[in-house]
Amino acid sequence: MLHIRNLCKNFGALKATDDVSLSVDRGTIHALIGPNGAGKTTLISQLSGYMQPSSGAITFDGQDLLSIPAHKRPHIGLVRSFQITSVFPELTVLDNVCLVLQSMQGQARSIFRIAAADRLERDEAREILTRVGLVDQADSVTGSLAHGQKRQVEIAMALAAKPKLLLLDEPMAGMGAEESRHLMTLLDNLRASVTMLLVEHDMDVVFGLADKVSVLVYGQMVASDTPENIRNNQDVQKAYLGGHNLHTEAKEC
């Protein structure tokens, strides 16, 4: 579904993305890991269109992605969920999802008339909230929810855009252990309907969800393999954890 070839992003002399090539297969959860400052978010930003590469090529679902502006990429099925929760806290959970449905249908003027959303649209929003386990909170003000529930709302909003590929930038950030387990189960349940590229520091989540893991260090792709092979890769352990075992040190990541 996604093919990145020889991608480079330079900030002066700094090579934030250094000749990166990566393929994400349709119907998989592909994890992207690496130490802080490795260039993971920079790579995701180039995929979503918020940064332009210095050179290289990206093909998404058979299309030249770099020829498509950022605001049109969700309309071809490439949707990003941000590291920092991005919801409308003053609106209800249902209205947050309805906003995305309206936006994807090109109803820009109706964004400010949420109460006028038709029944079919609201029924679709409730179906999405059922998928993420939040239908009972549909009429709650989003700002009153716990952090983990706000993440669920964000996932629901992403699903409302009908993604083919969902870019998840540290979805577990700021979560406790129980919240992380809950969101991990949610993402696992969604794998049958949407392909995911997951940036995550929690190794329990990575090895519990990913079909394939790619490792980025100082802007370079040092390995891309199955979770088990990545776990036992000595070069990855040295680059990522100073030689410590990825499994035993998972919680520290």
247: CATH: 3.40.50.300
Residue 103 sits in the same domain as residue 140: yes
Sheet holding 14-24, edge to edge: 14-24, 2-11, 55-60, 63-64
Residue 137 sits in the same domain as residue 246: no
Exposure string (b/e) for 9-34, b if CB count within 10 Å is 16 or more?
A: beeeeebbbbebebebeeeebbbbbb
For 111-155, what is each residue's pLDDT tens digit? 555 555 578 889 999 999 999 999 999 999 999 999 999 999 999
For 47-71, what is each residue's pLDDT tens digit? 999 999 999 999 999 999 999 999 9
Residue 70 sits in the same domain as residue 100: no
Residue 51 is classified by DSSP as S
Q: Give the pLDDT of residue 189.
A: 93
Q: Give the pLDDT of residue 249.
A: 43
Residue 109 sits in the same domain as residue 212: no
CB count within 10 Å of CB 64 equals 10
Q: Give the pLDDT of residue 234.
A: 87
What's the half-sphere exposure (Cβ side, CA atoms, 13 Å) at 91? 19
Separation of alpha carbons 50 and 225, rounded Å = 28
Q: Which domain holds residue 246?
A: 1-77+163-253
Q: How far is CA 208 from the centre of its chain?
A: 16
**Which residues of the chain are under the pLDDT cut of 50?**
83, 109-110, 243-245, 247-253
Q: Which of 119, 142, 162 is the last residue before a domain boundary?
A: 162
Q: Give the pLDDT of residue 236.
A: 85
